[in-house]
Amino acid sequence: MSFGPKDVLNRNKNLSKRVDIDKINLENVTVDDLRFDGKNYSRYINLQSLLENVSACQISDAYNAISKRSGTIQSIKPINNQKVWGSIYTAETDCDDWGTSALAIDGAGEGDILFFKVHGEDKAIWGELASSCARDNGIKATVIYGSARDLDALLYMDFPVYACNFCPNAGSALGLGSLNEPIEIEGMKISPGDFLFGDESGIVVIPQELFGQVMAQTLLVKIKESGIISDISDGKTLAEIVGLK
């Protein structure tokens, strides 16, 4: 493999650079721009600048404005109140099969978020060891429509976990589940590569084909809410701002 001057330039880009909210440009952004590929520097930086400054609530509002859907699964809650975003790698299995979790860790790519649909909640398919392995493999977070365990460790780990429930017991290393295939949870269809954003309020899932539109709308929501906060600081009431007075 050979490298030219352009490759060297791209590899030395300042990936920590951020753009002010009022200068963010999301033109032509796609879910692929969640990762820097050496050619998408501007789109990557502008997208990161937005995502670092918005919430699950604002993204849900933006998605609802476009699709009349919330994008949320309200039974899934944050275990350790950490913020995360990325593209989804799906898995589906029964609650007595934590072996599928191990296979998913190996199958997912760096920067992915694992999303498990689990049948049953009386056994945990995820815990401290799985979180440690996933984090070391470059996986960004794990979301479980089911149960996790080892909360004594997860609460303090630098690895976001979201789940419906928790319990101390686990099943066996069966490895009988499916990986990276479409799943459906509470009427919501989730495909590999869809976008997920999570924070203290919960998770929002956005279909990858609507990602660019939703990000652009999220920027508008953020700017509008920033203006409202400024007006409140200037002495206006919320009722006045929304036209109730």
Whether the full predicted model's pTM is greater than 0.85, yes or no, is yes
Contact of 69 with 144, CB cutoff 8 Å: no
Task: Please state the rounded mean pLDDT for residues 85-95.
Answer: 98
| Class of residue 85 by CB neighbours under 10 A (exposed 0-12, middle 13-18, buried 19+) | buried
In a domain, 87, yes or no: yes
Number of domains in the chain: 1
In a domain, 21, yes or no: no
| pLDDT reading at 233 higher than 80 | no
Domain housing 128: 54-245
In a domain, 34, yes or no: no
Strand 183-185 with 188-190, pairing: antiparallel
| Class of residue 239 by CB neighbours under 10 A (exposed 0-12, middle 13-18, buried 19+) | exposed
98 is written with which tokens? Answer: 């934590």
**Cα separation, 95 vs 117, whole angstroms:** 9
In a domain, 13, yes or no: no
What is the tens place of the pLDDT at every residue in 16-42?
Answer: 999 999 999 999 999 999 999 989 999
**Over the chain, what is the mean pLDDT?**
92
Q: Any idea what the CATH number is for the domain that residue 103 is in?
A: 3.50.30.40
Contact of 144 with 161, CB cutoff 8 Å: yes
What is the tens place of the pLDDT at every residue in 103-119?
Answer: 999 999 999 999 999 99
Nearest-10 Cα torsion for 107, 156, 169, 183: -40
According to the model, what pLDDT value does residue 62 have?
98
R_g of the chain computed on alpha carbons: 20
**Cα separation, 35 vs 110, whole angstroms:** 9
| pLDDT reading at 1 higher than 60 | no
In a domain, 12, yes or no: no
